[in-house]
Chains A and B, each alone.
Chain A
Amino acid sequence: MITRFLWQGMDRNLRLFILLVLAIGILLPLSNQLLPVGSAFRAPSWVLQLVGKYLCYASLALAVDLVWGFCGILTLGHAAFFALGGYCMGMYLMRQIGTRGVYGNPLLPDFMVFLGYKELPWFWHGFDHFWFAAVMIVLVPSLLALALGWFAFRSRVTGVYLSIITQAMTFALLLAFFRNDMGLGGNNGMTDFKDILGFSVQSDTTRAMLCFTSALVLAIFLVIAAAVVGSRFGKALTAVRDAESRMRFLGYRVEGYKLFVFVLSAAMAGIAGALYVPQVGIINPSEFAPGNSIEAVLWVAVGGRGTLIGPVIGAFIVNFGKTYLTGALPEVWLFALGALFIVVTLLLPKGVVGLWNQLNSRSRERRARAVA
């Protein structure tokens, strides 16, 4: 029954799209693992790593779209939830290093030995276990979102003001995580990971698995998002976006709707961040930089806010452009990114997906006219 409920929440395009995501997530790793090296159809490991990274970004974009596109909350701090999830995963990975660090200390990670820590800070306990880290990956971003959202939505902080306080939040976290006293690696963050669940993070098999997991998680997020958006709850959410005061007058508890979707979105961002860290092999405070959150908003805007496919497409387009341009023409990249921001907000308010729909409907009209 639940599957039927989930299935009905999606239209045909979305179903196809989810299948496409899964196909990429299965075929790329399989080709890497099964085909011999040198085969034309074999995806090299760096492609797996790149696609895995993009898939995590796409999950983050979807999380941003859920609050911005469907509920009208422009968050400029979602990268903070992403980074918090990443830090939880990073802490787990640090604990897996054991005595293989530079200092070979069985109890403390390298940076703590370096900074003269005598014992493990209290909040590191438990991160030896994957299940604990997994719980924290969801819990830490959710709780932060719950606290911030509960305060903010209850006092009806909306629009620009909410954007600014989310930005202040991520900025404060950026500053906090830069401090060595935080016990989280300070400026350098955490890196030199060895194992995840007993498999080496460097090996191709692990890469393939991570890439597949990222695709699977994105597919699951798409299904969840579709279910949320397609339900009665989702209708109310969209109504809150379009006419908040009217919903309030009609007797809806607007805060509850916003809070739910905000926390859900933060948890999604956290999971995406956790998958991101083992694939890039490092987590440091720069992930909290306000610019990152704003870039995530751009992915949504480029793809098309208020659609579920849009953010995924946007994340892929922008990040592919970033990878290509920062390699080929580094000085052009910021011009291109900046111009993209301007062009999208001025000319493509509905993003690529909106453009596609527009072109489609226009050609359909033309066809209809031709028939008539």
Chain B
Amino acid sequence: MFSSRPIVVLLSTLASLLLAGGAFAADLATLVANLTLGGFSERETAITALATSGEARAAPILEALAAGQLYVRTSDKLVVIGKTDGNRLALSEAITGKAAGSAVEADLERVRVNNRLRGTIEAAVGSLTLMSPSPKVRLDAAEALFKRRDSTALAALDLALAAEKDQRIKRSMSEARAAIVLTTPESTPAQKLEAIALVRERADRDSLSVLRAAASSSEGEVKAAATAGAGAIEQTLGAWQAAQNVWYGISLGSVLLLAAIGLAITFGTMGVINMAHGEMVMLGAYTTFVVQDVIRTSAPHLFDVSLLIALPLAFVVAGAIGILIERTIIRFLYGRPLDTLLATWGLSLVLQQAVRSIFGSSNREVGAPSWMSGTFQLGQLNITYGRLWIVVFSLIVFAALILLLRRTSLGLYMRAVTQNRPMASAMGIRTPRVDALTFGLGSGIAGLAGVALSQIDNVSPNLGQGYIIDSFMVVVFGGVGNLFGTLIGALTLGVVNKFLEPYAGAVLGKILVLVFIILFIQRRPRGLFALKGRSVE
């Protein structure tokens, strides 16, 4: 579509650029006045002239013109930029950028543009920004040009390239130039081959489409080189895609890990099947909601640290409720795992209904602090900060838990009671107290998970139910009583799930994972990393 643009634009841009800074650089006022006079073809010349003036104000004026926001005030013939502000237009002087009051549209005359002029303006602004003093603007302009492959900008690009000092921008510009060369029919095969080599190294989605287009529009050696280049890029992109899937998988795995890790303690080391575990997660999420609610009403400036405040509170709330549950219900049921399953299921119903009665059954809004929103690019990977923090957080929780179990006296007692209760008791460990603390710890970690999950899931009374089956799968898959098994299990299941999704769809992928686990348990009834020895039975 760009090839249909009249060659005159190219020539005029070229001519004026060559003369930029010279005699033609009339003062800004004249240039701007020229914009408003004459017909469309005169206006086109005026645009080009303005673009090549190198004036800092040229870009905003041209952008306003393209957006239809450039006006001439009828009363004093002043050229103004008008931005909609309620019923009136807020004006600023085009030349100085100073505010110039406001006016209704009837008192102004719009400087008209048509689609052809918009194209010219776009190209003109593109070349303007290529010469901009700000490196970021120049880089963005080069990147935009690579995507547009606008042959009219070739001359401007050459000039900018000659003047460019920054290596990175220079590279980006030469890539854009190569892309344009490939789309220009006049380029020689040698030029094209050189361009293909350059574009091929870029290896992203845009360069793939450049090379594909080149392959379909050319012949002989060039076609072969472009096809080969496209193939190579496809391979690289495939690898990036796989890496992206791995990242999604790790991200899902970290969520599973967070949900399952508390369960790994209560189920894995105590043999208690806590079906109310999901509700502990839910309580953590609701704690976050309450904290944010309080902050919103009484201390809005603390919003960014709301999650940090919520973390210890969620741990304490869920942990305290866990200890309460252990003291009132679970302790009568040790050695009867199937009974704990039923009792805690009942408990989960009670907790859900309690939360529903207090907070209502609809979803509650939990906001993300500013440091958790947004994304960044790592190579071709799209990574959201929220997910990244959750991955980091789950690993921190995991590491802290391992340290607690291995390096503290409480951890020592816990392991002792797990391995041999009568002996631990004989050695003077107060086993009931250790039981309560272990259960409280598992529940508290579920509360921490709730804080993290409130960022990615709906905070509703049913939040926990969605995780309980998955969590059990992770613990059983990884091997009961083995925290590292839980880590590996969670990450494996997450990654497998995400790799199945593109082929099977999300739901079928999940079904396949469940079936896989059912079959896996047949092969290894005690999970991936089974505990061996007497304590197993």
Q: Kindly state whether residue A334 has any CB partner on chain B within 8 Å.
A: yes
Q: Mark B320-343, 1 if CB is under 8 A from A, else 0.
A: 000000000100110001111111
Known A151-B522, A155-B525; judge A160-B341 contact (CB<8 A).
Answer: yes
**Is residue B353 contacting chain A, with contact meaning CB distance below 8 A?**
yes
A95–B514 Cα distance when bound, in Å, is 32
Closest to B520 in A: A165
Residue from the list B352, B508, B510, B525 in contact with A161, Cβ < 8 A: B525
Distance, CA A344 to CA B517, complexed state (A):
32
- Which positions 481-537 of chain B face chain A at CB distance < 8 Å? 507-508, 510-511, 514-515, 517-519, 521-523, 525
Q: In the complex, what residues of A have CB within 8 A of residue B469's CB?
A: 167-168, 171, 290
> CB-CB < 8 A to B353: which residues of A?
331, 334-335, 338
Q: List the A side residues contacting B350 at CB < 8 Å.
A: 334-335, 338-339, 342
Give min CB distance, B340 to chain A, whole Å.
8
A161 contacts B342, C-beta separation under 8 Å: no
Cβ-based interface call for B250 (8 A): no
Complex Cα gap A345–B275 (Å): 14
Is residue B273 within 8 Å, beta carbon to beta carbon, of the partner chain? Answer: yes
- B345, A164: Cβ atoms closer than 8 Å: no
Chain B residue numbers with a CB within 8 Å of A328 are none
Q: Is A152 interfacial (CB-CB < 8 Å)?
A: yes
A171 to B466 alpha-carbon distance, docked (Å):
11
A345–B514 CB distance below 8 A: no
Q: Chain B interface: which of A15-23, A29-37, A174-182, A193-201?
A: A174-182
Q: For the complex, give the distance between the alpha carbons of A7 and B273 in Å.
A: 41
From A76, A158, A172, A331, contact of B515 by CB (8 A): A172
Partner of A349, one of B275, B339, B525: B339
When distances are taken between beta carbons in the complex, the residues of chain A under 8 Å from B273 are 160, 163
Q: Do B519 and A345 touch across chains, with their CB atoms under 8 A apart?
A: no
Does A169 make an interface contact (CB < 8 A)? Answer: yes
Interface check A346, CB cutoff 8 A: yes
Q: Does A220 lie at the interface of the complex (its beta carbon under 8 Å from any beta carbon of B)?
A: no
- Kindly identify which residue among B339, B348, B525 contacts A345, using a CB–CB cutoff of 8 Å: B339
Q: Is the CB of B342 within 8 A of A298?
A: yes
CA distance A346 to B336 in the complex (A): 11
Contact A172 to B511, CB < 8 A, known contacts A164-B476, A342-B347: yes
Contact of B519 among A151, A175, A294 (CB under 8 A): A151
Contact (Cβ within 8 A) B332 A338 = no
Residue of A nearest to B339 (CB): A345
Q: For chain A, which range describes its interface: under 10, 10 to 19, 20 to 34, or 35 or more residues? A: 35 or more
Contact B346 A152 (CB under 8 A): no
Q: A156-B525, A160-B337 are contacts. A346–B342 as well, Cβ < 8 Å?
A: no
Contact with B along A340-369 (1 / 0, CB 8 A): 111011100100000000000000000000
Given A345-B333, A346-B329, also A163-B514 (CB < 8 A): no
Check A321 for interface membership: any CB of B closer than 8 A.
no
Contact with B along A294-330 (1 / 0, CB 8 A): 1001100100000000000000000000000000000
Residues of B within 8 A of A148 (CB): 518
Flag whether A146 is at the interface (Cβ < 8 A).
Answer: no
| In the assembled complex, B473 has its CB within 8 A of some CB on chain A | yes
**Chain A minimum-CB-distance residue to B267:** A160
A143 within 8 A of B: no
A280 contacts partner chain B, Cβ-Cβ < 8 Å: no
Contacts of B315 in A (CB 8 A): none
Residues of A within 8 A of B510 (CB): 172, 175
B residues in contact with A164, CB < 8 Å: 472-473, 476, 521
Say if the beta carbon of A157 comes within 8 Å of chain B. yes
B372 within 8 A of A: no
Q: Is the CB of B517 within 8 A of A159?
A: no
Give the residue name and chain of the A residue nearest to B350 (CB).
A338
Assuming the contacts A160-B338, A338-B347, A342-B347, asked whether A168 and B511 have C-beta atoms less than 8 A apart, the reply is no
B347: chain A residues at CB < 8 Å are 338, 341-342
CB of B357 within 8 A of chain A?
A: yes
A residues in contact with B349, CB < 8 Å: 334-335, 337-338, 341
Q: How far is the CA of A164 from the CA of B342 in the complex (A)?
A: 13
Known: A164-B476, A334-B353, A345-B343. A179 touches B338 (CB 8 A): no
* Binary A-proximity of B342-365 (CB < 8 A = 1, otherwise 0): 110111111111101100000000
A47 to chain B, nearest CB (A): 28
Residues of A within 8 A of B356 (CB): 331, 334
A223: B residues at CB distance < 8 A: none
C-alpha spacing A335/B348, complex, angstroms: 10
Are A163's CB and B341's CB within 8 A? yes
B348, A165: Cβ atoms closer than 8 Å: no
Residues of B301-332 contacting chain A, CB below 8 A: 329, 332
Q: How far is the CA of A341 from the CA of B343 in the complex (A)?
A: 5
On chain B, the residues within 8 Å of A76 by CB distance are 341
A-chain residues with CB within 8 Å of residue B354 when the two chains form the complex: 335
Q: Which of A157, A169, A171, A346 contacts B343 (CB 8 A)?
A: A346
Contacts of B514 in A (CB 8 A): 168-169, 171-172, 175
A74 within 8 A of B: yes
Kindly provide the distance from the CB of A233 to the nearest chain B CB, expressed in whole angstroms: 24
Closest CB-CB distance, B276 to chain A, in whole Å?
Answer: 9
Residues of A near B345 (CB, < 8 A) are 294, 338, 341
Contact of B473 among A168, A331, A341, A344 (CB under 8 A): A168
A143 and B338 CA atoms in complex are apart in Å by: 26
Residues A339 and B346 in contact in the complex (CB < 8 Å), given A172-B511, A176-B511: yes
Q: Which of B179-203 touch A at CB < 8 Å?
A: none
Q: How far is the CB of A341 from chain B (nearest CB, A)?
A: 2
A346 touches B333 (CB 8 A): yes
Which among A160, A176, A337 is the interface contact of B346 at CB below 8 angstroms?
A: A337
Closest CB of chain B to A185's CB: distance in Å?
15
Contacts of B275 in A (CB 8 A): 294
A169 to B514, CA, bound (A): 7
Known: A341-B342, A341-B347. A331 touches B357 (CB 8 A): yes
The interface residues of chain A lying within 8 Å CB-to-CB of B340 are 345
Residues of B within 8 A of A171 (CB): 469, 514
Q: Which residues of A contact B337 (CB under 8 A)?
A: 159-160
User: Please, which residue of chain B has its CB at the minimum distance from the CB of A157?
Assistant: B525
How distant is the Cα of A136 from the Cα of B379 in the complex, in angstroms?
55
List, in ascending order, chain B residues with CB within 8 A of A163's CB: 273, 338, 341
CA distance A168 to B468 in the complex (A): 11
Q: With A331-B353, A341-B342, A341-B349 in contact, is A155–B333 under 8 Å at CB?
A: no
Q: Which of A159, A178, A334 has the most CB of B within 10 A?
A: A334
5 residue pairs A–B, Cβ–Cβ below 8 Å = A74-B338, A161-B525, A165-B521, A298-B342, A346-B343
Known: A157-B522, A169-B514, A338-B349. 5 other contacts (CB 8 A): A168-B518, A298-B346, A338-B345, A342-B346, A345-B342
A interface residues, Cβ below 8 angstroms from B:
74, 76, 148, 151-152, 154-161, 163-165, 167-169, 171-172, 175-176, 178-179, 290, 294, 297-298, 301, 331, 334-335, 337-342, 344-346, 349
- Nearest 10 CB-CB pairings of A with B: A341-B346, A338-B350, A338-B349, A334-B353, A172-B514, A338-B346, A345-B343, A155-B522, A151-B522, A342-B346
Interface, chain B (partner A; CB < 8 A): 273, 275, 329, 332-333, 337-343, 345-354, 356-357, 469, 472-473, 476, 507-508, 510-511, 514-515, 517-519, 521-523, 525
